[in-house]
Amino acid sequence: MKARPFRIRDWSLRDLVAISRINETEIPHVSSITVAELKVLAEQSFYFRLLESESGDIAGFVLALDETATYSSLNFQWFKSRYPRFIYIDRVVVSASYQGLGIGRLLYEDLEEVAKRSSSPLACEVNTRPPNPGSLRFHQRFGFREVGVQNTEGGKKTVALLLRER
């Protein structure tokens, strides 16, 4: 298979509809989000970058917030109540047609480079019910370890809360 050239770039307002669409295709691995909600998170994000194909398709994205964000997510609040500083990876999504090409790895490596300025640990959650074993393996390869478990969405989901010390 011929390698596809990509470039990592910051989000822009014109991207939000497409990013929301990609996000919605990956439910239940990520939670649903409207374009308006995405805009609010984007504007206070520590890191919100996407990987774009040569043809201009959004292949994937990562959105991360630090402890200063105002975000009501139960998982974000779990970390906020326990850690004075952290970078919370709210969502990492790779478009179905680009999965298996290392897009998530490229975005995480870029996030790691940006986060070097901070000594804050990286934090995230991964569904264990419904299970998301691929994401769990991905995060374990990046050195994340489980620091808690939490039920969300009225008990419909269970997540492993993960942390990577820096």
CATH number of the domain bearing residue 21: 3.40.630.30
| 77, part of any domain | yes
| 147, part of any domain | yes
Q: How far apart are CA 68 and CA 127, in angstroms?
A: 24
Q: By percentage, how much of the chain surpasses pLDDT 90?
A: 87
The residue range of the domain holding 67 is 6-164
In the structure, what pLDDT confidence band is assigned to residue 1 with cuts at 50, 70 and 90? very low
In the structure, what pLDDT confidence band is assigned to residue 136 with cuts at 50, 70 and 90? very high
In the structure, what pLDDT confidence band is assigned to residue 14 with cuts at 50, 70 and 90? very high
Residue with tokens 């942390």: 163
In the structure, what pLDDT confidence band is assigned to residue 137 with cuts at 50, 70 and 90? very high
| 1, part of any domain | no
User: How many separate domains does the chain show?
Assistant: 1
For residue 159, which of 122, 121, 132 has the smallest C-alpha distance?
Answer: 132
Does residue 66 carry a pLDDT above 90? yes
For residue 28, which of 128, 99, 139 has the smallest C-alpha distance?
Answer: 128
| 90, part of any domain | yes
Instruction: Give the pTM.
Output: 0.93
Q: CA 44 → CA 41, 67, 166, distances in Å?
A: 5, 11, 22
Give the tens place of pLDDT for each residue, 107-132. Answer: 999 999 999 888 899 999 999 999 99
The pLDDT of residue 166: 77
| 78, part of any domain | yes
